[in-house]
Amino acid sequence: MSATIRPLQESDRADWEARWRSYLIFYEAELPQAQTDANWERLMAPARDPHGLVAVDDDGRMIGITHYLFHVSTWLMGPSCYLQDLYVDEAARGTGAGRALIEAVYAAADAAGASQVYWTTQHFNETARRLYDRIGKLTPFIKYNRW
């Protein structure tokens, strides 16, 4: 199976939302429908962050999604690119779809002059971390949230 990467389109809403919901389930997270709706509206506004890409298989079926955004940094001259969400259908994992989505974000970041691309994952996401270890560098940073 090969994956083709393309931008999200208005006609992708149902397929995107199915993957978005699966992504939330994987990370044991719940968000209100209003947040999902707001995310979709933001993704459909081409001049705004975040941006969305999808992976489709040889039959044109969506098998993965990713969202990314740009921001300035006090540590770098150019913008930074945060790869915020990445999800590939379980049946399509190991096919190169995840790597292709990340590489497409790398290309978008390069085109925007971004100085870095970075992302986070949870420690238990071992399958994805095997990929991340091949195409990225693990940093020593630990993330904290305000409670």
Q: Retrieve residue 129's tokens.
A: 């971390």
Is the separation of the CB atoms in 82 and 68 below 8 Å?
A: yes
Between vectors from CA 135 to CA 62 and to CA 124, what angle results, nearest 5°?
75
Residues 6 or more apart whose CB falls under 8 angstroms from that of 73 comprise 79, 80, 115, 116
Q: How does residue 7 score in pLDDT terms, banded at 50, 70 and 90?
A: very high
For 75-114, what is each residue's pLDDT tens digit? 999 999 999 999 999 999 999 999 999 999 999 999 999 9
Q: Is the pLDDT of residue 142 over 90?
A: no
Q: Retrieve residue 37's tokens.
A: 């709706």
Report pTM: 0.94
**Percentage with pLDDT > 70 across the chain:** 99
Domains of the chain: 4-135 (3.40.630.30)
Going by the DSSP 8-state scheme, the letter that residue 84 receives in this structure is: E
Between vectors from CA 109 to CA 103 and to CA 112, what angle results, nearest 5°?
145
Is the dihedral angle over the CA atoms 1, 93, 82, 43 positive or is it negative?
positive
For 38-62, what is each residue's pLDDT tens digit? 999 999 998 899 999 999 999 999 9
Q: Which of 17, 121, 7, 90 is nearest to 135 (CA)?
A: 121
Sequence letter at residue 33: Q
